[in-house]
Structure 1
Amino acid sequence: MEIVSLFSGCGGLDLGFELAGFSIVWANDNDKDVWETYTRNFPGTYLDKRDLRVIPVSDIPDCVGIIGGPPCQSWSEAGNRKGIEDERGRLVLNYIDIISRKRPYFFLFENVAGILHRRHKKAFNLILTSLEKAGYDIYYKLIDTYDYLVPQNRKRVFIIGFRKDLQISYSFPKPFDRKKTLRDAIYDLKDNVVEPLEKNRHNPKVIVPNHEYYIGSFSSIYMSRNRVRSWNEPSFTIQASGRHAPIHPQANKMIKVSKDKYIFDPESPYPYRRLSVRECARIQTFPDDFIFVYEKLDAGYKMIGNAVPVKLAEILAVSIKETLRRKIGKERTKILLPLFLA
């Protein structure tokens, strides 16, 4: 089942769909910081490096599905929150235009929780209406990844659509009772981390690939709340920045000294350090054989923080695949049959 990936980043969403049995035949991202990482980990996928806005739709291959999440900074509560009024926010419209012209059987759209903020209500309704007018039955849900075997509290919006002529009724997977913690994800890495080279550059002497952590001062914003989760808890959201990475669970919780001000506990038996690039990747459920290529550590954190957790992507991909298979089992039509010839 061949699919296309837009705004691919380093490929968290893509890897999840590959693990579920889909084949990524064409991907696109014009961020040069992700190119070497993506091509190294997806050697069989063609990566188009052009700005999506200048790519003729005819250059994008026909496919069963289109997946991807347009840049989220315009919708984030931590960003400028201009939404669709921002140039990056309008990339959503490019995404919708490609779907309407390529007419895949399904699509998956991912974005930050901020897209549901009341200030974006009109724009979000426009997105849903446009997708419906493009000929799709639309289903969306705000998901906390912690409910889907990801050791992290991370809320994201997923919109999944199926072409109306397929007459498919879809339900998102139910949350898992079993939960994953920091101990599950990174405990075995606690003793072999290394410091980066000067100016937070990659250290080639890492013992485990990418197991090096960002060094530097902490901003007042960072120190405005506790940044430490214990081993038996899920991680805070992994950010797209080394400077804002959570603190490793070896340290004590931070101490509140006044409103919006915390300090590091001087009695902590272990030092305060940020999570390493590999630890963040583990928390985002990337396997250890997925190698991130970068010179500056912050590029590694950025790739990982912008990614969809692999396990959640796989769970959603399996649900889509099973939904399509149930349909083919009932219909057995010549139109749907090519979906399952791969």
Structure 2
Amino acid sequence: MIFKKGELFNGPGGLSLGAKNARVIHPRTGEEWRIEHLWSNDYDAKACETYRLNICEDIEDSSVHWGPVEDLPIGNKDVLGEIDCFAFGFPCNDYSQVGEKHGLNGTFGPLYSYGVKVLVDYQPKFFVAENVGGLQSANEGKAFIQILTELEECGYQLTPHLYKFEEYGVPQARHRIIIVGIRNDLAKKGIEYKVPAPTSLSSIDYTTSYEGITNPPIPEDCANHEMPRHTQKVKDMLYHIPAGENAWYPGIPEHLQLKVKGARLSSIYKRLDPNRPAYTVTGSGGGGTHMYHWEELRALTNRERARLQTFPDDFVFCGSKEQVRKQIGMAVPPIGAQIVFEAILKTFAGIEYNYVTPTPKLQLEKLKGKTKKLTDRKFLNKQQDIALV
């Protein structure tokens, strides 16, 4: 059984590599269940090149549409063929915990609506949507409720869950909301997606940043592995920062300390702890935000960051160093995505697997109930204020 996939906001292809690698063989019939790319879109030209090269294995592949999603002919099935499934990691800039958190009022916040349009026009059997954990608190929680409601109204049974990817073999503490939707008519027939159980039972089993980067060693001639350059002052400061600590470590000599007023971000010149998963790989930021080696006096290379995101060494990123850094930092870890897609394939194939209960506070009915209670409470408080007057 092959599911043809459409995708919006494809980035370099983290979600799609996970889908491409997902394979399920039915133990009784021997039938193979898998997912194939049909079309995708992104506004980042270099990300599209990366996607074509690695997912389509052809840098000229015309099925990857570069340009604003507003210009994509969604619904025109002569251009974009029929699909069985759909994936979209809609832009997270306005929902991230880092930044101004504009939510639905930002430039990127409303872009999820193009995913809704795909669902309405194509009615695929299932979809996978991904975003940052901050989505649940954007616009006082109203953005998340609105998005879930619109996705549900497209005709889908939703299973939103906050995945902690370090629990699934990723050498990085990366927490992302993933919403899996199964079309209602299929859900009524008993096709019910369940959140796959973590592969690491406790923090003792987590894959460390040391293991992720060094096992096996990265070949010296590996793509995207150019060593960064630093000033002597940065090297001297890093020398005094132990593994796991940052630029605010008290043991740094005064003449090397940063002269910063106001908020002090914990990730500034933070060195990895080799005995724990890495902190979250990001795609942007100025000096001190590039992630730093636990032993060597330098930032990580893009290939080392890609290792922490679980991209294989033969996955080549296109573009400048900063363009590649952005692609890596914005991507979904392919190993985490593969686990989700394989659970979906097992669901459709009728194969049992270990699962856990979805994150309770992300369930739509409970969210609606919570919102109603807050509204009722505000109304009662207002009535009390009137009575006092």
TM-score bracket for the superposition, by shorter chain length = 0.7 to 0.9
For residues 184 and 112 of structure 1, do their structure 2 counterparts lie closer, same or farther at Cα, with a shift above 3 Å needed?
A: same
Q: CA deviation at 1:215?
A: 3.8
| Count of matched residue positions in the alignment of Structure 1 and Structure 2 | 293
Asked whether the equivalents of residues 95 and 132 of structure 2 are also in contact (C-alpha less than 8 Å), the reply is yes
| Counterpart-to-counterpart distance in 2, 1:318 and 1:191 | 28
- Contact kept? 1:214, 1:298, Cα under 8 Å: no
Counterpart residue identity of residue 292, structure 1:
F
User: Which one of 5, 8, 11 corresponds to residue 10 of structure 2?
Assistant: 8
Report the 3-state secondary structure (helix = DSSP H, G, I; strand = E; otherwise coil) of the residue aligned with 1:152: coil
Q: Cα offset for 1:222?
A: 5.3
Secondary structure of 2:116's counterpart equals helix
Give the deviation of 1:224 after TM superposition.
Answer: 6.8
Residue 47 of structure 1 corresponds to 64
| In 2: Cα distance, 1:300 partner to 1:224 partner | 20
Shift of 1:56: 2.1
Tell me the residue number matched to 1:56: 73
Query: Secondary structure at the residue paired with 1:67?
Result: strand
Please, which moves more after superposition, 40-49 or 101-110?
40-49
For 1:79 and 1:13, locate their aligned partners in 2 and report how far apart those are by CA, in whole Å.
24
Output the CA distance in 2 between the equivalents of 1:118 and 1:90: 12
Alignment of 1:198-217 (within 5 A): 207-215=221-229
Q: Which runs of 5+ in 1 are unaligned?
A: 193-205, 251-269, 328-342
Match of 1:153 among 173, 176, 190: 173
Q: Which amino acid aligns with 1:17?
A: A
Q: C-alpha separation between the residues in 2 aligned to 1:223 and 1:189?
A: 29
Letter in 2 for 1:107: F
Contact 1:181–1:235, Cα closer than 8 Å, also in 2: yes
- Identify which of 38, 58, 68 aligns with 1:25: 38
Alignment partners' CA distance in 2, 1:68 and 1:214: 32
Name the residue aligned to 1:249: 294
Amino acid at match of 2:223: P
Q: Summarize deviations over 1:266-315 as a string: whole Å, max 9, x none.
A: xxxx42x1111000001100001101122x21111100000000100100
Q: 1:232 aligns with which of 257, 266, 275?
A: 275
Structure 1 residues 278, 242: closer, same or farther in 2, change over 3 A? farther
Offset at 1:214? 3.9
Q: Contact 1:76/1:113 (CA < 8 Å) preserved in 2? A: yes
Aligned twin of 1:275:
300
**Superposed structure 1 runs of 4+ greater than 6 Å apart:** 189-192
After TM superposition, give the deviation of residue 189 of structure 1 in Å: 7.5
Listed one character per residue, the Cα deviations across residues 19-72 of structure 1 (whole Å, up to 9, x for unaligned) are: 003111111112112122121112356101132112222133211110011110
Structure-1 separation of matches of 2:164 and 2:100: 23
Q: State which drifts further: 141-150 or 28-37.
A: 28-37
Q: In structure 2, do the counterparts of structure 1 residues 25 and 120 end up closer, same or farther at CA, with 3 Å as the change threshold?
A: farther
**Bigger shift: residues 117-126 or 159-168:** 117-126
Which residue of 2 is the match for residue 172 of structure 1? 195
Relative to 1, partners in 2 of residues 1:98 and 1:232: Cα closer, same or farther, differing over 3 Å? same
Structure 2 alignment gaps of length 5 or more: 23-33, 235-257, 352-389
Secondary structure of the corresponding residue to residue 235 of structure 1? coil
- Which of the numbers 165, 184, 194 marks the counterpart of 2:211? 184
Aligned-residue Cα RMSD (Å) equals 2.2
Percent identity, aligned pairs only, is: 32
For the residue of structure 1 that corresponds to 2:11, the secondary structure is coil
Q: Flag the 1:223–1:308 CA change in 2: closer, same or farther, 3 A.
A: closer
> Tell me, what secondary structure is at the counterpart of 1:117?
helix
For the pair 1:325 / 2:352, whether they are aligned, the reply is no
**Distance in 1, Cα, partners of 2:138 & 2:50:** 36
1:3 partner amino acid: K
- Residue 118 of structure 1: how far off its partner (Å): 5.7
Letter paired with 1:302: K
State the shift of 1:242 in Å: 6.8
Show the counterpart of 2:358. Answer: none
Letter in 1 for 2:170: V
Is the Cα contact below 8 Å between 1:242 and 1:302 reproduced in 2?
no
Matched, 1:290 2:307: no
Letter matched to residue 100 of structure 1:
V
The Cα shift of 1:188 comes to 5.2
Deviates more, 1:215-224 or 1:12-21: 215-224
Q: Which residue identity does 1:36 align to in structure 2?
A: E
CA distance in 2, matches of 1:36, 1:286: 16
